[in-house]
Amino acid sequence: MKHYSDKIVTALILDKGESIFEAFEKVAMEKELPAGFITGIGAVEDVIIGCFDKGKKSYIEKKLNGFHELLALNGNLSWKDEKPFIHLHAIMGCEDGSVVGGHLLQAKIAVTGEFFFHLFNGDLKREFVPEFGLYLIK
Ligand code: ZN
């Protein structure tokens, strides 16, 4: 993992084998990043995506086999119980040119990951919403 920051943006470059969520949480804690939005591209494997089932208040999980181009990762960093809360959505390209995407639950870097945290001085915190069974931004 390599990261570079100015006052507004932190660039985070991940290497093969690194977990996106573990790396994002680590850099958010170590650098005490405020809230912000996250963008990125790269190549991933060991991916699990989800689609939220409102009735069951849980994610329907789908494991993706093999290598995928990470075409577009969008998400945000907020905080819950003094810990970073990473919410990510991803669109990924398959070998045959098709795309797949969803709420990202797990992903490891297959080659490289190039991410940018666009920060702001606000403070976003999460609060549990019983109607959905989710921690949403207040
Ligand atoms: Zn989501």
- Condensed to tens digits (0 to 9), the pLDDT of residues 39-61 reads 999 999 999 999 999 999 999 99
For 45-75, b where at least 16 C-beta lie within 10 A, e where not — what string? bbbebbeeeeeeeebeeeebeebbbbeebeb
- Condensed to tens digits (0 to 9), the pLDDT of residues 82-136 reads 999 999 999 999 999 999 999 999 999 999 999 999 998 777 899 999 999 999 9
- Does pTM top 0.95 for this prediction? no
What separation in Å is there between the alpha carbon of 2 and the centre of ligand 1? 26
Give the three-state DSSP class for 119. Answer: strand
With a cut of 90, say whether residue 3 has pLDDT above it: no
Give the pair of three-digit tokens for residue 81: 């119980």
| CATH code, domain carrying 45 | 3.30.1330.80
What separation in Å is there between the alpha carbon of 91 and the centre of ligand 1? 12
What separation in Å is there between the alpha carbon of 51 and the centre of ligand 1? 8
Q: Residue 44 belongs to what domain range?
A: 2-137
21 dihedral zone (left: phi>0; alpha: psi -120 to 50; beta)? alpha
Report every protein residue that has its C-beta within 5 angstroms of ion ligand 1: 103
What separation in Å is there between the alpha carbon of 96 and the centre of ligand 1? 26
Measured distance CA(45)–CA(66) in Å, rounded: 6
Domain total of the chain: 1
